[in-house]
């Protein structure tokens, strides 16, 4: 169970009247005790009332115990999730990696400090950067500082719904944003957002004429303008736009297709392909801006330290390393000498940086020792699968997917 799921289970226990800390007790006091009191006051037989109350109290006690069981179970769930997310033996892993010792050389230590400072600067934690400068004696790079400050300022404006500084940046970098091979759609999406946010239709049309028409050849401008017919003035409440309405990369959106997340306008019974501007879209727009800004200045799109920690901790790579070390021990040798992880680490799609090849015959993922090989026909197999076809000293083999023969020497190794 993931930590967040385990915490949600705890929260639902706390908010449910039958298991919250005061729930069963409140029922006991409010209901049974006060009823008993009233009965006594009205002159009912005290012995009967009390024995009745006793029964109720016993029942309430049972309820509390049942609730407690739920709590112990949920708390145990949180403990297990934490243990699963963070390897319990961090010191052991650290020792295993410490041969040869890590971060001993001066330049290695400086590089680590720089990575930490970069990470803090990206988050705008300038006080922490200053403290780090003092502690390490390093001065944070001026150029990086001013870039991080500018990015932080523009993103801050965007978070406040103010897009003019982002547009200004686009104007200053028009040539870069337009240049192949990755012309950017950022200016279009900025103007699109402003267009959709203008409540007055005629004002919106004027805006579209001067700012959106230049994108006519590359973006679905006419559809966008027409969509104003379907959008009720500034009522984003029915919109369920997801972050996918903006392209995540910087590919030019040359397609005339509207974004795929069509929103059904319940009142009109028609599909409005252009959801109104809402918070989620602004977040995507900010991410898009961040991406372009980093690309412009050759900065990594994501904080490298953040990615490493995310993959190691939440992604579970460290837990896998630790498990492999525990299970297979010495047989695997020094961890630092491992060429690949002995077990698979499942990663979300956003964290997959390299293409992998899975052999269509053996269904195994290609490795250094079993690389992909392309046959004369263009079909690709893992090397071992091709060798199997060559069994019995044959010089050539027929492709399993088409009738073309490939001689042993003609198969070529592929590099992804």
Q: State the minimum distance, in angstroms, from the CB of residue 109 to Zn ion.
A: 53
Torsion sign across C-alpha atoms 157, 162, 168, 174: positive
Compare residues 86 and 401 and give the one whose CB is closer to Zn ion: 401
Q: Which residues contact 7 (CB under 8 A, 6 or more apart)?
A: 78
| Binding window for Zn ion (CB under 5 A); candidates: 12-20, 192-200, 280-288, 397-405 | 397-405
State the Cα–Cα distance between residues 252 and 178, nearest whole angstrom: 9
Choose the stretch contacting Zn ion; rule: CB under 5 A; options: 54-62, 122-130, 151-159, 400-408. 400-408
Nearest approach, Cβ of residue 396 and Zn ion (Å): 13
Question: Segment 348-377, which members bind Zn ion (CB under 5 A)?
Answer: 377
Smallest distance, Zn ion to C-beta of residue 364, A:
19
The piece of 34-42, 82-90, 327-335, 398-406 that touches Zn ion (CB under 5 A) is 398-406
Residues 6+ apart with CB under 8 A from 27: 60
152's tokens: 């932080």
Q: How many CA atoms lie within 13 A of 143 on its CB side?
A: 3
Q: Give least dist CB 375 to Zn ion, A.
A: 5
Cβ of residue 379: shortest distance to Zn ion, in angstroms? 3
Q: CA–CA separation, 350 vs 244, rounded Å?
A: 13
CB 376 within 8 A of CB 384: no
First CA to last CA distance, the chain: 34
Per DSSP bridges, beta strands 412-413 and 396-398 are unpaired
Neighbours of 393 (CB within 10 A): 5
Rounded least distance, CB 400 to Zn ion, Å: 7
Nearer to Zn ion, 39 or 379 (CB): 379
Binding mask 173-202 vs Zn ion (x if CB under 5 A, - otherwise)?
A: ------------------------------
**Given the complex with Zn ion, which of 108 and 402 has the nearer CB atom?**
402
Place of tokens 């959008």: 231
Neighbours of 134 (CB within 10 A): 9
Per-residue x/- marks for Zn ion, 89-128, CB under 5 A?
----------------------------------------
Choose one: 150-158, 172-180, 325-333, 399-407; the region binding Zn ion (CB under 5 A): 399-407
How do beta strands 396-398 and 405-407 pair?
antiparallel
Q: Are 57 and 28 in contact (CB under 8 A)?
A: yes
Select from 402, 410, 412, 414 the one that contacts Zn ion (CB under 5 A): 402
Residue 401 binds to Zn ion (criterion: CB under 5 A): yes
Name the DSSP class of 348.
-
* Closest residue to bound Zn ion by CB: 399
Burial class of residue 7 in the structure, from the number of CB atoms within 10 Å of its CB (0-12 exposed, 13-18 middle, 19+ buried): middle
- Piece of the chain touching Zn ion by CB under 5 A; list 112-120, 199-207, 218-226, 402-410: 402-410
**Residue (341 or 402) nearer to Zn ion, CB:** 402
Nearer to Zn ion, 311 or 377 (CB): 377
Cis peptide before 240 (omega within 30 of 0): no
Instruction: State the Cα–Cα distance between residues 42 and 180, nearest whole angstrom.
Output: 90
Scan for tokens 């047989």, then name that residue: 331
Q: What CA–CA distance (Å, rounded) separates 262 from 272?
A: 6
Query: Binding segment for Zn ion among 29-37, 88-96, 151-159, 395-403 (CB under 5 A)?
Result: 395-403
Rule CB under 5 A: say whether 296 interacts with Zn ion. no
Instruction: Tell me how far, at minimum, the Cβ of 399 lies from Zn ion, in Å.
Output: 3
Applying CB under 5 A, what is the total number of residues that bind Zn ion? Answer: 5
Q: Can you tell me which of 123, 144, 379, 398 binds Zn ion, judged by CB under 5 A? A: 379
CA gap 83, 151 in Å, rounded: 37
410 binds Zn ion (CB under 5 A): no
Taking CB under 5 A as the binding criterion, the range among 194-202, 322-330, 388-396, 401-409 that sits at the site for Zn ion is 401-409
Smallest distance, Å, CB 388 to Zn ion? 16
| CB-based burial label for 219 (10 Å; 0-12, 13-18, 19+) | buried
By rule CB under 5 A, what string of x and - marks binding of each residue 136-155 to Zn ion?
A: --------------------
Binding residues for Zn ion (CB under 5 A): 377, 379, 399, 401-402
């Amino acid at each position: 169970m993931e930590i967040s799921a385990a915490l949600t289970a705890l929260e639902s226990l706390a908010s449910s009247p039958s298991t919250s800390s005061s729930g069963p007790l409140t029922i006991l006091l409010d209901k049974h005790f006060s009823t008993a009191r009233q009965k006594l006051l009205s002159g009912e037989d005290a012995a009967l009332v009390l024995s009745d109350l006793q029964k109720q109290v016993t029942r309430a006690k049972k309820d509390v115990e049942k609730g407690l069981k739920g709590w112990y179970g949920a708390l145990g769930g949180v403990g297990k999730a934490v243990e699963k997310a963070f390897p319990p033996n961090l010191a052991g892993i650290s020792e295993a990696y410490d041969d040869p010792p890590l971060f001993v050389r001066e330049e290695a230590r400086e590089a680590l400090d720089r990575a930490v400072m970069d990470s803090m600067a990206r988050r705008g934690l300038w006080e922490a950067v200053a403290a780090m400068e003092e502690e390490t004696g390093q001065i944070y790079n001026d150029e990086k500082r001013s870039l991080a400050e500018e990015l932080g300022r523009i993103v801050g404006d965007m978070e406040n719904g103010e897009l003019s500084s982002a547009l200004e940046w686009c104007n200053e970098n028009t040539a870069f944003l337009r240049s192949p091979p990755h012309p950017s759609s950022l200016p279009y999406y900025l103007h699109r957002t402003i267009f959709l946010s203008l409540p007055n239709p005629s004002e919106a049309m004027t805006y579209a004429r001067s700012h959106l028409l230049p994108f006519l050849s590359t973006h679905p401008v006419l559809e966008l303008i027409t969509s104003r017919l379907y959008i009720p003035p500034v009522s984003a409440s029915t919109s369920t736009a997801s972050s996918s309405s903006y392209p995540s990369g910087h590919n030019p959106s040359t397609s005339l297709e509207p974004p795929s997340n069509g929103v059904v306008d319940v009142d009109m019974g028609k599909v409005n392909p252009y959801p109104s501007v809402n918070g989620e879209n602004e977040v995507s727009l900010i991410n898009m801006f961040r991406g372009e800004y980093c690309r412009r200045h050759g900065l990594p799109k994501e904080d490298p330290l953040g990615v490493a920690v995310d993959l190691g901790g939440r992604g579970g790579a460290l837990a896998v390393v630790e498990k492999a070390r525990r299970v297979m021990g010495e047989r695997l040798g020094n961890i630092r000498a491992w060429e690949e992880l002995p077990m698979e680490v499942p990663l979300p799609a956003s964290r997959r940086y390299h293409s992998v090849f899975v052999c269509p015959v053996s269904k195994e993922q290609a490795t250094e020792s079993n690389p992909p090989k392309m046959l004369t026909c263009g079909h690709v197999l893992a090397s071992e699968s091709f060798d199997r076809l060559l069994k019995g000293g044959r010089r050539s083999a027929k492709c399993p997917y088409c009738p073309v023969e490939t001689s042993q020497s003609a198969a070529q190794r592929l590099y992804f």
